[in-house]
A and B are shown apart, each in its own frame.
Chain A
Amino acid sequence: MISVTGLHKHYGENHLFKGLGLEVKRGEVVVLIGPSGSGKSTLLRCITALESFQGGKVIVDGIEVHPENEKKDRDYAENIRRVRLKVGMVFQQFNLFPHMTVLENIIEAPSKVLGLKKEDLKAQAKSLLKRINLENKTMSYPAELSGGEQQRVAIIRALAMKPEAMLFDEPTSSLDPEMVGEVLSVITGLVNDGMTSVIATHEMGFAREVADRIVVFDKGEIIEEGAPDDIFLRPRLQRTRAFLSRVNG
């Protein structure tokens, strides 16, 4: 469903990805782990075209996005938009719209982008909020919610667009520890329902629990990948072992 091949990404002088590749099958849950600055966020941002890249290609459900120097392609902008409609994204900083209520945050894009009826969307949003026990916050503004609540709303907001896959970029990294659980359980529920997901996280227990496959990043490279038990119990590389022992304290 998501296929990244030969990806090259430069940040100025910094040549981060030198021909990176990643395949994600429909229904698969891939978890990205690795040290800070290794390129997990950048890969997710390249997939939704929030970040341009200089070589290789990203194909989402048959839609191709090319590097930025081939932008003149007349379909470029259209393809990016189609990719974004297929892939939802959840950010570390939640990024809820502060001037809109929870309900408005959720229905804004489906009503404006997909042209769906507001009444239907509202009903649907309310039932989604109910599932995560936030139905009493429908009319609240983001600033009135806790971090955990905001992130759960952000997940609902992305789901309201009915994406075929979800990308999570460290969804719990800016939360107080007591709120991590409530967000992870929402994601776990989603994954168990079969949502294709790519998740960057530092929560190793969670990674091991939800992942079909773990992908280990280091310095812009995928150094090792495999089933959770293989990676956590039998890592092949010294670098992976070093990373794991660092995060496990």
Chain B
Amino acid sequence: MSLLVQLALMLCMAAPALPESGPIEKIKARGHLLWGSDAEGGAPYVFPDPKDPSRLIGFEVDLAEAIARELGVTARQSQNAWDSLIPALERGDFDMVINGIEITPQRQEKALFSLPYYIYSEQLVVRKDNKDINSIEDLRGKKVGTLSGTVAQEILTKKEGIDIRIYPGQVQPYEDLAIGRIDAVLLDLAIAAYYGETNPKVKYTGQPVGEGHYGIAVRKEDKDLKEAIDKVIARLSSTGELRKIYEKWDLWDNNQERLAEKVKAAEGYVGIDESKKAPLYTFLPLLAKGAGITILISSVSMLFAIILGLVLTIARLYGTALLSRLATAYIEIYRGTPLLIQLYILYYGLPNIGISLSPIIAAFLGLGMNYAAYEAELYRAGICAVPKGQMEAALSLGMSKALAVRRIILPQALRIALPGVTNDFIALFKDSSLVSIIAMVELTKTYSILAASTLRFFEFGLVVALLYLLMSYPLSLLARRLEKRLKGERK
């Protein structure tokens, strides 16, 4: 027998036989309960403690800890983008999700839900001086902010004629409302209580609508875990511990009292009404609109970048010492900082100094100004690649430097830069998805909204990827043809 086989046998015998173990045993063996949530979502759910940002606090943190305590382990939070918490749960990244997940039929297809732990409803918030919006019936033709993949968004989508603005976080919609970029915000009462009520420029209007339940999600096969969690929720509810948590976060209201009754009767719950599992093509108009906006944003931004890049290059190479230094500084700053931060500053930062840009203008400027720095570098490389003799020949023919640059140097430099510029266009095309953070619903945002609300990440993912490819491929073809033609000219 070879040594290797002997070794393998020894190893096998040394390993202890593993007992058939369910999810609870695994958690106990591990010593901690892993729960997924998105701390970016904010107060009062799960958010960094303002006094000690390395620590997470929130009513769901308290809830998770209470459940872990009941199971005799500690709770450990796992950060995940809210939109994709359920897919991450299915993938096995954590044991459960507690993060204001509304119990809906679509989600129940993908995950198992505990007894509800909170009754939410949606609260409409408007500016203090607003008089004509008194309920969601008055929203036709208005700009209304909400979060992606929420029940509030679903409610708004069902009403016709509303200009819905999707935000990445809970703070920004209320800020945009206060400065007049949008007319109203519809979001969970718990969010409204934290971010709306505390803003002196806005107020509640009308009764809360669209009542539903938050539940703790576990994987479909983890029935034991669901039952254990149900028991814990029932116990926390009957002992008043749950009430204490909600009171601490100022969330206790009549609804929660009703919930306690329900849980006692363990009578189950009703989800909000469902939109049926519609075939993919019904979503095509929405996706096409997103694609259209992506094309618009990319093209206008690229045009802007090309022109601004040219101005920067000329200032840098042929301008006075001061101009040249300013252009260089611009290029270094824009290349050296993340586009995302630039967009945030442009859209959410500038209002602090009194400049409030609309989302689409902010998108054009943000992408354009960033890419201008890259274009400028490409042009500069192009200009440096034009042989020195070209400028000398032009000058010795009596041309002024400006004329020589315009007629002789730039046309050659731009041809040299063309492949790079085309590649940048394709890159910008994809980077345009970043503007979703400034409430632009382009293709990627459309995807994340649709996928989050239907949980069909895979199908929609393929469709959207295909759409991007359909748009960028002709671009590469065009670029290749242009290059070929230019090469012919030069040979």
Contact pattern, B 477-490, Cβ under 8 Å of A = 1, otherwise 0: 00000000000011
A91 at the interface (CB under 8 A from B): yes
Q: Provide a sorted-by-A list of 17 A–B residue pairs whose CB atoms are within 8 angstroms.
A: A81-B398, A81-B400, A84-B396, A88-B396, A88-B397, A91-B392, A93-B387, A93-B389, A98-B489, A99-B412, A108-B407, A113-B399, A113-B400, A143-B489, A144-B491, A161-B397, A161-B398
Chain B positions 362-403 with a Cβ under 8 Å from a chain A Cβ? 387, 389-390, 392-400, 403
B415 within 8 A of A: yes
Interface 0/1 of A90-108, CB less than 8 Å to B: 0101011111000000001
Is B71 close to A, CB under 8 A? no
Number of residues from B at the complex interface, CB < 8 A: 21
The contact of A99 among B397, B399, B415, by CB within 8 Å, is: B415
Residues of B close to A113: CB separation below 8 A? 397-400, 403
Residues of chain A lying within 8 A (CB to CB) of residue B387: 93, 95
A95 to B397, CA, bound (A): 11
Interface on B for A, CB 8 Å cutoff? 387, 389-390, 392-400, 403, 407-408, 411-412, 415, 489-491
Interface size class of chain A, counting residues whose CB lies under 8 Å from the partner chain:
20 to 34
Given contacts A97-B408, A98-B490, A108-B407, contact A50 B395 (CB under 8 A): yes
The A contact surface, by secondary structure, is: mixed
The answer to whether A141 and B397 have CB atoms under 8 Å apart is no
Cα A114 to Cα B398 with chains together (Å):
9
A112 touches B (CB below 8 Å):
yes
Are A95 and B398 neighbours in the complex by a CB distance under 8 Å? no
> Which residues does chain A contribute within 8 Å of B489, judged by CB atoms?
98-99, 141, 143
By the criterion CB–CB under 8 Å, are B397 and A84 in contact?
yes
Kindly provide the distance from the CB of A222 to the nearest chain B CB, expressed in whole angstroms. 23
Q: Are B393 and A97 in contact (CB under 8 A)?
A: yes
- Whether the pair B390, A95 counts as a contact (CB closer than 8 A) is yes
Residues in B with CB closer than 8 Å to A158 are 396-397
Extra contacts besides A88-B396, A108-B397, A161-B398 (13): CB < 8 Å: A50-B396, A89-B393, A93-B387, A95-B390, A95-B392, A96-B393, A97-B408, A113-B398, A113-B399, A141-B490, A143-B491, A157-B397, A158-B397
Contact assessment for A85 and B491 in the assembled complex, using a CB-CB cutoff below 8 Å: no
A141 vs B398: C-alpha distance in the bound complex, in angstroms? 22
Task: Look across to chain A and name the residue whose beta carbon is closest to the beta carbon of B486.
Answer: A99
Nearest 5 A/B pairs, CB to CB:
A95-B393, A109-B397, A95-B389, A89-B396, A85-B398
A48 part of interface (Cβ distance < 8 Å)? yes
Q: How far is the CA of A113 from the CA of B389 in the complex (A)?
A: 19
In the complex formed, the residue of B with least CB distance to A108 is B407
Q: How far is the CA of A93 from the CA of B389 in the complex (A)?
A: 8
Question: In the complex, are the beta carbons of A109 and B392 less than 8 A apart?
Answer: no
Q: How far is the CA of A84 from the CA of B403 in the complex (A)?
A: 15
CA distance A84 to B387 in the complex (A): 20
A78 CB to nearest chain B CB (Å): 10
Pair A84/B393 contact, Cβ less than 8 Å: no
- Asked whether A112 and B389 contact (CB < 8 A) given A141-B490, A143-B489, the answer is no
Contact with B along A51-87 (1 / 0, CB 8 A): 0000000000000000000000000000001001101
A142 vs B242: C-alpha distance when bound (angstroms)? 84
Contact A112 B407 (CB under 8 A): yes
Q: Kindly state the separation between the CA atoms of A63 and B34 in the bound complex, as whole angstroms.
A: 87
Closest A residue to B397 by CB, please name it: A109
Within the complex, what minimum Cβ distance (angstroms) separates A45 from chain B? 8
Name which residue of chain A comes closest to B408, CB basis.
A97
Chain A residue at minimal CB-CB distance from B386: A98
Closest residue of chain B to A98, judged by CB? B490
Instruction: Tell me the bound Cα distance from A161 to B399 in angstroms.
Output: 11
Output the least CB separation between A47 and chain B (Å): 10
Which residues, 150 to 196 on A, are CB-close (under 8 Å) to B? 154, 157-158, 161
Expressed in whole angstroms, the minimum distance between the Cβ of A128 and any Cβ of chain B is: 15
Q: How far is the CA of A227 from the CA of B392 in the complex (A)?
A: 32
With contacts A143-B489, A143-B491 taken as known, whether A91 is within 8 angstroms of B389 at the C-beta atoms is: yes
Instruction: Give the docked Cα–Cα distance between A93 and B391 (Å).
Output: 13
A48 to B393, CA, bound (A): 11
Within 8 Å CB of B408, what residues of A? 97
Chain A residue nearest to B415 (CB atoms) is A99
Minimum C-beta distance from A81 to chain B (A): 6
- Assess whether B399 is in contact with A109, with CB atoms less than 8 Å apart: yes
Residues on A with beta carbons closer than 8 Å to the beta carbon of B393: 89, 91, 95-97, 154
CB A122 to nearest CB in B, in angstroms, measures 17
Residue of A nearest to B411 (CB): A99
B1 to chain A, nearest CB (A): 74
Chain B residue with Cβ nearest A154: B393
Q: Shortest Cβ distance from A165 into chain B, in angstroms? A: 12
- Quick check: A48 and B396 within 8 Å, CB to CB? yes
Task: Please give me the residue from chain B that is nearest to A80 by CB atom.
Answer: B395
Residue of B nearest to A45 (CB): B392
Chain B residues near A157 (CB, 8 Å)?
397
* Complex CA–CA separation, A154 to B396 (angstroms): 12
Q: Determine how close the nearest CB of chain B comes to the CB of A124; give it in whole angstroms.
A: 15
Given contacts A95-B393, A144-B491, contact A109 B412 (CB under 8 A): no
A143 with B397: CB separation less than 8 A: no
User: Once the chains are docked, how many angstroms separate the CA of A87 from the CA of B408?
Assistant: 20
> Roughly how many angstroms separate A143 CA and B486 CA in the complex, as a whole number?
12
Q: What is the CA–CA distance of A112 and B397 in the complex, to the nearest angstrom?
A: 11
Residues of A within 8 A of B394 (CB): 97, 109
